Structure 1
Protein backbone atom coordinates (compact mmCIF):
# COMPACT_ATOMS: atom_id res chain seq x y z
CA UNK A 1 0.00 0.00 0.00
CA UNK A 2 2.84 2.40 0.83
CA UNK A 3 4.50 1.77 -2.50
CA UNK A 4 1.33 2.51 -4.41
CA UNK A 5 0.79 5.71 -2.45
CA UNK A 6 4.33 6.91 -3.33
CA UNK A 7 3.79 6.15 -7.03
CA UNK A 8 0.54 8.11 -7.03
CA UNK A 9 2.23 11.09 -5.28
CA UNK A 10 5.12 11.12 -7.82
CA UNK A 11 2.67 10.97 -10.73
CA UNK A 12 0.75 13.93 -9.34
CA UNK A 13 3.98 15.93 -8.86
CA UNK A 14 5.08 15.25 -12.47
CA UNK A 15 1.68 16.36 -13.80
CA UNK A 16 1.89 19.53 -11.70
CA UNK A 17 5.39 20.42 -12.95
CA UNK A 18 4.27 19.82 -16.57
CA UNK A 19 1.26 22.11 -16.17
CA UNK A 20 3.47 24.83 -14.58
CA UNK A 21 5.89 24.81 -17.56
CA UNK A 22 2.98 24.99 -20.00
CA UNK A 23 1.21 27.88 -18.26
CA UNK A 24 4.19 30.12 -17.14
CA UNK A 25 4.61 31.82 -20.60
CA UNK A 26 7.78 32.90 -22.41
CA UNK A 27 10.39 34.72 -20.26
CA UNK A 28 10.91 38.44 -20.93
CA UNK A 29 13.87 38.99 -23.28
CA UNK A 30 16.94 40.45 -21.61
CA UNK A 31 18.21 43.60 -23.42
CA UNK A 32 21.71 43.16 -24.77
CA UNK A 33 24.46 44.74 -22.75
CA UNK A 34 25.85 48.02 -24.15
CA UNK A 35 29.39 47.73 -25.46
CA UNK A 36 32.09 49.15 -23.21
CA UNK A 37 33.64 52.53 -24.16
CA UNK A 38 30.81 53.62 -26.55
CA UNK A 39 28.64 56.63 -25.72
CA UNK A 40 24.94 55.77 -25.29
CA UNK A 41 22.05 57.79 -26.70
CA UNK A 42 19.90 59.19 -23.92
CA UNK A 43 16.58 61.02 -24.23
CA UNK A 44 16.43 64.41 -22.59
CA UNK A 45 13.25 65.56 -20.84
CA UNK A 46 11.24 68.02 -22.98
CA UNK A 47 10.79 71.34 -21.13
CA UNK A 48 7.13 72.12 -20.31
CA UNK A 49 5.87 68.55 -20.86
CA UNK A 50 3.33 67.43 -18.28
CA UNK A 51 4.56 64.95 -15.81
CA UNK A 52 3.10 61.48 -16.09
CA UNK A 53 0.01 60.96 -14.04
CA UNK A 54 0.34 59.19 -10.81
CA UNK A 55 -1.18 55.79 -10.44
CA UNK A 56 -4.80 56.15 -9.42
CA UNK A 57 -5.89 53.57 -6.93
CA UNK A 58 -8.70 51.37 -8.00
CA UNK A 59 -12.13 52.85 -7.14
CA UNK A 60 -14.62 50.84 -5.15
CA UNK A 61 -16.60 48.34 -7.06
CA UNK A 62 -19.59 50.73 -7.03
CA UNK A 63 -18.47 52.71 -10.15
CA UNK A 64 -15.90 50.66 -12.12
CA UNK A 65 -16.92 52.05 -15.53
CA UNK A 66 -16.57 55.72 -14.50
CA UNK A 67 -13.13 55.13 -13.04
CA UNK A 68 -11.96 53.45 -16.23
CA UNK A 69 -13.22 56.34 -18.39
CA UNK A 70 -11.53 58.94 -16.12
CA UNK A 71 -8.23 57.13 -16.36
CA UNK A 72 -8.44 56.99 -20.15
CA UNK A 73 -9.11 60.75 -20.38
CA UNK A 74 -6.36 61.65 -17.92
CA UNK A 75 -3.60 59.71 -19.73
CA UNK A 76 -1.48 62.28 -21.59
CA UNK A 77 0.02 61.76 -25.01
CA UNK A 78 3.53 60.49 -24.80
CA UNK A 79 5.97 63.34 -25.47
CA UNK A 80 7.83 63.29 -28.76
CA UNK A 81 11.45 62.40 -28.24
CA UNK A 82 13.72 65.39 -28.68
CA UNK A 83 16.50 65.01 -31.19
CA UNK A 84 19.57 64.54 -29.20
CA UNK A 85 23.12 64.35 -30.30
CA UNK A 86 25.26 61.74 -28.76
CA UNK A 87 28.02 63.40 -26.87
CA UNK A 88 31.33 62.23 -28.30
CA UNK A 89 33.54 60.53 -25.87
CA UNK A 90 36.33 62.72 -24.61
CA UNK A 91 39.61 61.78 -26.29
CA UNK A 92 41.84 59.87 -24.04
CA UNK A 93 44.96 61.85 -23.23
CA UNK A 94 48.08 59.98 -24.21
CA UNK A 95 50.19 58.75 -21.40
CA UNK A 96 53.09 61.17 -20.77
CA UNK A 97 56.47 59.78 -21.62
CA UNK A 98 58.44 58.82 -18.54
CA UNK A 99 61.23 61.30 -17.66
CA UNK A 100 64.64 60.40 -18.94
CA UNK A 101 66.84 59.00 -16.25
CA UNK A 102 70.61 59.32 -16.49
CA UNK A 103 72.12 55.89 -16.21
CA UNK A 104 75.60 55.71 -14.74
CA UNK A 105 77.99 53.40 -16.57
CA UNK A 106 78.22 50.02 -15.00
CA UNK A 107 81.41 49.11 -13.24
CA UNK A 108 83.66 47.13 -15.51
CA UNK A 109 81.88 48.20 -18.72
CA UNK A 110 84.36 49.60 -21.26
CA UNK A 111 83.89 53.30 -21.92
CA UNK A 112 84.13 54.90 -25.32
CA UNK A 113 87.64 55.97 -26.17
CA UNK A 114 87.86 59.62 -27.36
CA UNK A 115 89.18 60.05 -30.88
CA UNK A 116 92.93 60.34 -31.03
CA UNK A 117 94.21 63.83 -31.89
CA UNK A 118 95.50 64.33 -35.39
CA UNK A 119 99.30 64.00 -35.30
CA UNK A 120 101.14 67.14 -36.33
CA UNK A 121 103.58 67.16 -39.20
CA UNK A 122 107.15 66.13 -38.27
CA UNK A 123 109.53 68.97 -37.48
CA UNK A 124 111.80 69.94 -40.38
CA UNK A 125 115.13 71.72 -39.85
CA UNK A 126 117.46 73.37 -42.38
CA UNK A 127 120.64 75.45 -42.55
CA UNK A 128 120.57 78.71 -44.52
CA UNK A 129 123.77 80.35 -45.77
CA UNK A 130 126.59 80.89 -46.16
CA UNK A 131 126.95 84.47 -44.96
CA UNK A 132 130.20 86.42 -44.95
CA UNK A 133 129.96 87.74 -41.39
CA UNK A 134 127.90 87.57 -38.24
CA UNK A 135 125.95 90.76 -38.90
CA UNK A 136 124.75 89.52 -42.28
CA UNK A 137 123.69 86.21 -40.75
CA UNK A 138 121.73 88.02 -38.00
CA UNK A 139 119.94 90.13 -40.62
CA UNK A 140 118.96 86.99 -42.54
CA UNK A 141 117.72 85.40 -39.30
CA UNK A 142 115.37 88.34 -38.78
CA UNK A 143 114.10 88.26 -42.37
CA UNK A 144 113.00 84.62 -42.03
CA UNK A 145 110.49 85.82 -39.43
CA UNK A 146 107.41 83.62 -38.92
CA UNK A 147 108.63 80.97 -41.36
CA UNK A 148 110.87 79.51 -38.63
CA UNK A 149 110.04 78.46 -35.06
CA UNK A 150 113.52 78.87 -33.61
CA UNK A 151 116.96 79.48 -35.02
CA UNK A 152 120.60 79.99 -34.10
CA UNK A 153 123.81 81.27 -35.72
CA UNK A 154 126.68 78.92 -36.48
CA UNK A 155 130.20 79.86 -37.54
CA UNK A 156 132.27 77.41 -39.60
CA UNK A 157 135.58 77.79 -41.39
CA UNK A 158 135.53 78.22 -45.11
CA UNK A 159 136.32 75.11 -47.12
CA UNK A 160 140.12 74.92 -47.51
CA UNK A 161 140.85 77.50 -44.79
CA UNK A 162 143.07 76.31 -41.94
CA UNK A 163 143.04 79.39 -39.71
CA UNK A 164 142.59 78.75 -36.00
CA UNK A 165 142.00 81.03 -33.06
CA UNK A 166 144.04 80.88 -29.87
CA UNK A 167 143.27 82.47 -26.53
CA UNK A 168 146.42 83.47 -24.64
CA UNK A 169 147.59 85.53 -21.71
CA UNK A 170 150.66 87.73 -22.22
CA UNK A 171 154.11 86.29 -21.39
CA UNK A 172 155.14 86.63 -17.75
CA UNK A 173 158.51 88.00 -16.65
CA UNK A 174 159.60 84.58 -15.34
CA UNK A 175 158.54 80.99 -15.18
CA UNK A 176 157.68 81.33 -11.50
CA UNK A 177 155.35 84.26 -12.20
CA UNK A 178 153.62 82.26 -14.96
CA UNK A 179 153.14 79.29 -12.60
CA UNK A 180 151.64 81.55 -9.94
CA UNK A 181 149.13 82.85 -12.54
CA UNK A 182 148.24 79.29 -13.52
CA UNK A 183 147.46 78.47 -9.87
CA UNK A 184 145.04 81.41 -9.70
CA UNK A 185 143.40 80.29 -12.95
CA UNK A 186 142.89 76.75 -11.60
CA UNK A 187 141.50 78.12 -8.33
CA UNK A 188 138.89 80.03 -10.36
CA UNK A 189 137.62 76.74 -11.84
CA UNK A 190 139.08 77.25 -15.32
CA UNK A 191 140.76 74.30 -17.03
CA UNK A 192 142.56 73.65 -20.34
CA UNK A 193 145.70 75.78 -19.95
CA UNK A 194 149.48 75.35 -20.28
CA UNK A 195 152.63 77.47 -20.09
CA UNK A 196 154.56 78.06 -23.32
CA UNK A 197 158.14 76.87 -22.74
CA UNK A 198 160.07 78.38 -25.67
CA UNK A 199 159.94 80.74 -28.60
CA UNK A 200 158.83 84.29 -28.64
CA UNK A 201 155.79 83.31 -26.54
CA UNK A 202 157.88 81.73 -23.74
CA UNK A 203 156.20 82.01 -20.33
CA UNK A 204 152.89 82.95 -21.99
CA UNK A 205 149.82 80.99 -20.92
CA UNK A 206 147.75 79.35 -23.67
CA UNK A 207 144.05 78.92 -22.76
CA UNK A 208 142.60 77.06 -25.74
CA UNK A 209 142.67 76.76 -29.53
CA UNK A 210 139.46 77.07 -31.57
CA UNK A 211 138.43 76.53 -35.17
CA UNK A 212 135.88 79.36 -35.15
CA UNK A 213 135.85 82.82 -33.71
CA UNK A 214 132.64 82.36 -31.71
CA UNK A 215 134.19 79.65 -29.53
CA UNK A 216 137.27 81.76 -28.89
CA UNK A 217 135.18 84.76 -27.92
CA UNK A 218 133.17 82.69 -25.42
CA UNK A 219 136.46 81.64 -23.82
CA UNK A 220 137.59 85.27 -23.59
CA UNK A 221 134.32 86.22 -21.91
CA UNK A 222 134.70 83.47 -19.29
CA UNK A 223 138.25 84.57 -18.47
CA UNK A 224 137.24 88.21 -18.25
CA UNK A 225 134.43 87.33 -15.81
CA UNK A 226 136.98 85.53 -13.61
CA UNK A 227 139.24 88.59 -13.56
CA UNK A 228 141.90 87.55 -16.09
CA UNK A 229 143.01 89.57 -19.08
CA UNK A 230 143.53 87.46 -22.25
CA UNK A 231 143.75 88.14 -25.97
CA UNK A 232 142.75 86.48 -29.22
CA UNK A 233 145.57 85.36 -31.44
CA UNK A 234 145.48 83.98 -34.99
CA UNK A 235 142.72 83.78 -37.51
CA UNK A 236 142.44 85.79 -40.69
CA UNK A 237 139.75 88.06 -42.01
CA UNK A 238 137.27 86.17 -44.15
CA UNK A 239 138.50 82.73 -43.09
CA UNK A 240 135.06 81.79 -41.64
CA UNK A 241 131.48 81.83 -42.79
CA UNK A 242 128.16 81.90 -40.98
CA UNK A 243 125.02 79.80 -41.29
CA UNK A 244 121.53 80.11 -39.82
CA UNK A 245 120.24 76.81 -38.40
CA UNK A 246 116.44 76.94 -38.14
CA UNK A 247 113.39 74.77 -37.47
CA UNK A 248 110.66 75.49 -39.99
CA UNK A 249 107.19 76.54 -38.84
CA UNK A 250 104.11 74.52 -39.78
CA UNK A 251 103.32 74.57 -43.52
CA UNK A 252 106.53 76.51 -44.26
CA UNK A 253 108.74 75.18 -47.08
CA UNK A 254 112.56 75.27 -47.15
CA UNK A 255 112.57 77.16 -50.44
CA UNK A 256 110.32 79.88 -49.03
CA UNK A 257 112.57 80.30 -45.97
CA UNK A 258 115.66 80.50 -48.20
CA UNK A 259 114.13 83.15 -50.45
CA UNK A 260 112.87 85.19 -47.50
CA UNK A 261 116.26 85.18 -45.73
CA UNK A 262 118.28 85.88 -48.87
CA UNK A 263 120.51 82.82 -48.41
CA UNK A 264 122.28 81.34 -51.40
CA UNK A 265 121.93 77.75 -50.20
CA UNK A 266 119.81 75.54 -48.00
CA UNK A 267 120.87 72.28 -46.39
CA UNK A 268 119.01 69.63 -44.44
CA UNK A 269 119.75 69.53 -40.72
CA UNK A 270 119.07 67.09 -37.90
CA UNK A 271 116.62 68.75 -35.52
CA UNK A 272 118.19 67.00 -32.52
CA UNK A 273 121.24 69.27 -32.79
CA UNK A 274 119.05 72.39 -32.74
CA UNK A 275 117.31 71.74 -29.41
Structure 2
Protein backbone atom coordinates (compact mmCIF):
# COMPACT_ATOMS: atom_id res chain seq x y z
CA UNK A 1 0.00 0.00 0.00
CA UNK A 2 2.79 2.36 0.90
CA UNK A 3 4.66 1.43 -2.21
CA UNK A 4 1.70 2.24 -4.39
CA UNK A 5 1.30 5.64 -2.74
CA UNK A 6 5.01 6.46 -3.38
CA UNK A 7 4.65 5.51 -7.02
CA UNK A 8 1.63 7.83 -7.41
CA UNK A 9 3.56 10.71 -5.81
CA UNK A 10 6.53 10.13 -8.12
CA UNK A 11 4.29 10.13 -11.18
CA UNK A 12 2.66 13.39 -10.11
CA UNK A 13 6.09 14.99 -9.58
CA UNK A 14 7.28 13.83 -12.97
CA UNK A 15 4.20 15.24 -14.64
CA UNK A 16 4.71 18.59 -12.86
CA UNK A 17 8.35 18.76 -13.95
CA UNK A 18 7.44 17.94 -17.53
CA UNK A 19 4.68 20.57 -17.54
CA UNK A 20 7.09 23.20 -16.17
CA UNK A 21 9.65 22.22 -18.77
CA UNK A 22 7.17 22.74 -21.57
CA UNK A 23 5.85 26.10 -20.33
CA UNK A 24 9.15 27.81 -19.39
CA UNK A 25 10.10 28.80 -23.01
CA UNK A 26 13.47 28.82 -24.65
CA UNK A 27 16.25 29.81 -22.27
CA UNK A 28 17.92 33.09 -23.18
CA UNK A 29 21.42 32.57 -24.29
CA UNK A 30 23.97 34.76 -22.49
CA UNK A 31 25.62 37.30 -24.79
CA UNK A 32 29.21 36.60 -25.53
CA UNK A 33 31.65 38.62 -23.50
CA UNK A 34 32.91 41.63 -25.43
CA UNK A 35 36.65 42.25 -25.55
CA UNK A 36 38.08 44.73 -23.10
CA UNK A 37 38.14 48.36 -24.28
CA UNK A 38 35.41 47.84 -26.96
CA UNK A 39 32.15 49.76 -26.57
CA UNK A 40 28.83 47.88 -26.99
CA UNK A 41 25.91 49.03 -29.07
CA UNK A 42 22.46 48.73 -27.53
CA UNK A 43 19.12 48.99 -29.32
CA UNK A 44 16.91 51.50 -27.53
CA UNK A 45 13.13 50.96 -27.47
CA UNK A 46 11.13 53.06 -29.92
CA UNK A 47 9.76 56.26 -28.44
CA UNK A 48 7.24 56.90 -31.25
CA UNK A 49 3.76 57.39 -29.82
CA UNK A 50 1.07 54.99 -31.21
CA UNK A 51 -1.25 56.48 -33.79
CA UNK A 52 -4.74 57.00 -32.40
CA UNK A 53 -7.61 56.99 -34.83
CA UNK A 54 -10.47 59.37 -34.08
CA UNK A 55 -13.89 57.98 -34.78
CA UNK A 56 -16.62 60.21 -36.25
CA UNK A 57 -19.16 61.47 -33.73
CA UNK A 58 -22.06 59.56 -35.25
CA UNK A 59 -20.24 56.28 -35.45
CA UNK A 60 -21.30 53.45 -33.22
CA UNK A 61 -18.60 52.59 -30.75
CA UNK A 62 -17.06 49.28 -31.66
CA UNK A 63 -16.88 46.51 -29.20
CA UNK A 64 -13.48 46.22 -27.70
CA UNK A 65 -11.76 42.92 -27.39
CA UNK A 66 -10.97 42.56 -23.74
CA UNK A 67 -9.34 39.22 -24.22
CA UNK A 68 -5.88 39.54 -22.71
CA UNK A 69 -3.18 39.01 -25.24
CA UNK A 70 -0.24 36.96 -24.45
CA UNK A 71 2.78 39.07 -23.49
CA UNK A 72 5.46 39.04 -26.13
CA UNK A 73 8.63 37.27 -25.19
CA UNK A 74 11.52 39.73 -24.83
CA UNK A 75 14.36 38.91 -27.18
CA UNK A 76 17.89 39.41 -25.92
CA UNK A 77 19.81 42.24 -27.57
CA UNK A 78 22.07 41.24 -30.38
CA UNK A 79 25.64 42.22 -29.56
CA UNK A 80 27.40 44.09 -32.28
CA UNK A 81 31.13 43.74 -32.35
CA UNK A 82 33.07 46.88 -33.11
CA UNK A 83 36.63 46.60 -34.47
CA UNK A 84 39.26 47.54 -31.93
CA UNK A 85 40.98 49.78 -34.45
CA UNK A 86 37.83 51.92 -34.76
CA UNK A 87 37.77 52.47 -31.05
CA UNK A 88 41.48 53.16 -30.95
CA UNK A 89 41.24 55.70 -33.78
CA UNK A 90 38.41 57.60 -32.12
CA UNK A 91 39.98 60.57 -30.32
CA UNK A 92 39.06 60.87 -26.69
CA UNK A 93 37.10 64.01 -25.88
CA UNK A 94 39.36 66.71 -24.54
CA UNK A 95 38.30 68.58 -21.45
CA UNK A 96 37.50 72.21 -22.13
CA UNK A 97 40.41 74.41 -21.20
CA UNK A 98 39.56 76.65 -18.35
CA UNK A 99 40.09 80.23 -19.41
CA UNK A 100 40.93 82.47 -16.46
CA UNK A 101 38.57 85.34 -16.04
CA UNK A 102 40.20 88.68 -16.86
CA UNK A 103 41.32 90.57 -13.80
CA UNK A 104 39.39 93.76 -13.12
CA UNK A 105 41.20 96.75 -14.50
CA UNK A 106 41.80 99.32 -11.79
CA UNK A 107 41.44 102.93 -12.63
CA UNK A 108 44.94 104.09 -13.53
CA UNK A 109 45.92 107.33 -11.81
CA UNK A 110 46.27 110.29 -14.05
CA UNK A 111 49.92 110.92 -14.95
CA UNK A 112 51.47 113.69 -12.94
CA UNK A 113 52.26 116.72 -14.95
CA UNK A 114 55.92 117.57 -14.53
CA UNK A 115 56.49 121.23 -13.73
CA UNK A 116 58.13 123.24 -16.41
CA UNK A 117 61.88 123.38 -15.91
CA UNK A 118 63.08 126.61 -14.44
CA UNK A 119 66.04 127.95 -16.36
CA UNK A 120 69.11 127.90 -14.19
CA UNK A 121 70.55 131.27 -13.41
CA UNK A 122 74.22 131.45 -14.17
CA UNK A 123 76.20 132.02 -10.99
CA UNK A 124 78.63 134.86 -11.46
CA UNK A 125 82.26 133.95 -10.98
CA UNK A 126 83.80 135.26 -7.74
CA UNK A 127 85.77 138.47 -8.02
CA UNK A 128 89.57 138.25 -8.26
CA UNK A 129 91.84 140.91 -6.78
CA UNK A 130 95.58 141.58 -7.26
CA UNK A 131 98.31 143.95 -6.15
CA UNK A 132 100.41 145.42 -8.99
CA UNK A 133 103.83 147.00 -8.32
CA UNK A 134 106.02 148.05 -6.83
CA UNK A 135 106.23 151.64 -8.08
CA UNK A 136 108.78 154.16 -6.96
CA UNK A 137 106.33 157.00 -6.24
CA UNK A 138 102.68 157.91 -6.31
CA UNK A 139 102.79 159.41 -9.81
CA UNK A 140 104.15 156.17 -11.28
CA UNK A 141 101.36 154.17 -9.59
CA UNK A 142 98.69 156.55 -10.96
CA UNK A 143 100.10 156.26 -14.50
CA UNK A 144 99.99 152.47 -14.23
CA UNK A 145 96.35 152.66 -13.13
CA UNK A 146 95.47 154.70 -16.22
CA UNK A 147 97.21 152.26 -18.60
CA UNK A 148 95.40 149.21 -17.13
CA UNK A 149 92.00 150.88 -16.71
CA UNK A 150 90.29 148.48 -19.17
CA UNK A 151 91.49 145.40 -17.24
CA UNK A 152 90.62 146.71 -13.75
CA UNK A 153 87.18 146.99 -12.18
CA UNK A 154 88.21 149.15 -9.26
CA UNK A 155 91.60 150.19 -7.81
CA UNK A 156 93.26 152.17 -5.08
CA UNK A 157 96.83 153.17 -4.30
CA UNK A 158 98.70 151.87 -1.28
CA UNK A 159 101.97 153.13 0.15
CA UNK A 160 104.30 150.69 1.86
CA UNK A 161 106.65 152.45 4.30
CA UNK A 162 110.06 150.94 4.89
CA UNK A 163 109.80 148.67 1.88
CA UNK A 164 113.18 147.10 2.64
CA UNK A 165 112.02 145.60 5.94
CA UNK A 166 112.93 141.98 6.61
CA UNK A 167 110.31 141.29 9.34
CA UNK A 168 106.73 142.31 9.94
CA UNK A 169 105.11 142.10 13.38
CA UNK A 170 101.38 142.27 14.05
CA UNK A 171 100.45 143.85 17.39
CA UNK A 172 97.47 144.97 19.42
CA UNK A 173 98.18 148.36 21.07
CA UNK A 174 99.44 148.28 24.69
CA UNK A 175 96.69 147.93 27.30
CA UNK A 176 96.40 150.15 30.37
CA UNK A 177 97.40 147.33 32.73
CA UNK A 178 98.40 143.71 32.87
CA UNK A 179 94.87 142.73 33.88
CA UNK A 180 93.42 144.59 30.88
CA UNK A 181 95.89 142.80 28.59
CA UNK A 182 94.86 139.41 30.05
CA UNK A 183 91.17 140.25 29.55
CA UNK A 184 91.95 141.06 25.89
CA UNK A 185 93.71 137.70 25.54
CA UNK A 186 90.53 135.92 26.73
CA UNK A 187 88.57 137.71 24.02
CA UNK A 188 91.17 136.68 21.44
CA UNK A 189 90.99 133.02 22.51
CA UNK A 190 87.16 133.09 22.43
CA UNK A 191 87.33 134.38 18.83
CA UNK A 192 89.44 131.37 17.81
CA UNK A 193 92.70 133.32 17.31
CA UNK A 194 95.94 131.54 18.22
CA UNK A 195 99.67 132.46 18.28
CA UNK A 196 99.70 135.34 20.74
CA UNK A 197 101.65 136.54 23.78
CA UNK A 198 101.72 139.57 26.09
CA UNK A 199 104.85 141.75 25.85
CA UNK A 200 106.15 142.21 29.43
CA UNK A 201 108.78 144.95 28.98
CA UNK A 202 110.02 147.71 26.71
CA UNK A 203 108.10 150.45 25.02
CA UNK A 204 105.38 147.95 23.97
CA UNK A 205 104.72 146.69 27.55
CA UNK A 206 101.22 145.08 27.86
CA UNK A 207 100.89 145.02 24.06
CA UNK A 208 99.76 141.70 22.58
CA UNK A 209 101.93 140.26 19.80
CA UNK A 210 99.94 138.24 17.27
CA UNK A 211 102.67 136.96 14.98
CA UNK A 212 105.86 137.85 13.12
CA UNK A 213 106.24 137.33 9.37
CA UNK A 214 109.10 137.47 6.86
CA UNK A 215 106.96 138.92 4.04
CA UNK A 216 104.30 141.55 4.01
CA UNK A 217 101.65 139.34 2.40
CA UNK A 218 101.53 137.06 5.44
CA UNK A 219 101.23 140.03 7.76
CA UNK A 220 98.46 141.52 5.63
CA UNK A 221 96.44 138.29 5.78
CA UNK A 222 96.83 138.25 9.57
CA UNK A 223 95.59 141.83 9.82
CA UNK A 224 92.56 141.04 7.64
CA UNK A 225 91.61 138.02 9.84
CA UNK A 226 91.89 140.09 13.03
CA UNK A 227 89.85 142.88 11.54
CA UNK A 228 87.08 140.43 10.59
CA UNK A 229 87.07 139.17 14.21
CA UNK A 230 86.64 142.73 15.53
CA UNK A 231 90.24 143.52 16.67
CA UNK A 232 92.15 146.63 15.53
CA UNK A 233 95.74 145.42 15.12
CA UNK A 234 98.71 147.21 13.60
CA UNK A 235 101.73 146.07 11.58
CA UNK A 236 105.26 147.10 12.51
CA UNK A 237 108.10 146.61 10.00
CA UNK A 238 111.69 146.20 11.10
CA UNK A 239 115.10 145.71 9.49
CA UNK A 240 114.55 148.07 6.51
CA UNK A 241 116.31 151.19 5.20
CA UNK A 242 113.23 153.44 5.51
CA UNK A 243 112.46 153.72 1.79
CA UNK A 244 108.80 153.53 0.63
CA UNK A 245 107.07 151.79 -2.28
CA UNK A 246 103.68 152.18 -3.95
CA UNK A 247 101.33 149.39 -4.95
CA UNK A 248 98.16 149.35 -7.03
CA UNK A 249 95.48 147.18 -5.37
CA UNK A 250 92.67 146.45 -7.84
CA UNK A 251 89.76 144.14 -8.72
CA UNK A 252 90.21 142.46 -12.08
CA UNK A 253 87.53 142.89 -14.73
CA UNK A 254 85.48 139.75 -15.44
CA UNK A 255 87.44 137.28 -17.54
CA UNK A 256 90.74 139.19 -17.23
CA UNK A 257 93.93 137.27 -16.47
CA UNK A 258 96.23 138.78 -13.77
CA UNK A 259 99.20 138.52 -16.14
CA UNK A 260 97.39 140.66 -18.73
CA UNK A 261 96.66 143.35 -16.11
CA UNK A 262 100.31 143.35 -15.01
CA UNK A 263 101.51 143.68 -18.61
CA UNK A 264 99.20 146.61 -19.35
CA UNK A 265 100.11 148.47 -16.15
CA UNK A 266 103.85 147.99 -16.66
CA UNK A 267 104.27 146.57 -13.12
CA UNK A 268 107.21 144.33 -12.34
CA UNK A 269 105.07 141.77 -10.51
CA UNK A 270 101.57 140.97 -9.34
CA UNK A 271 100.39 139.37 -6.08
CA UNK A 272 97.05 137.83 -5.14
CA UNK A 273 95.02 139.98 -2.79
CA UNK A 274 91.95 139.45 -0.64
CA UNK A 275 89.12 141.52 -2.09
CA UNK A 276 87.88 142.36 1.43
CA UNK A 277 90.81 144.73 1.80
CA UNK A 278 89.53 146.91 -1.04
CA UNK A 279 86.21 147.66 0.67
Q: TM-score band, normalised by the shorter chain?
A: 0.3 to 0.5
Larger radius of gyration: 2
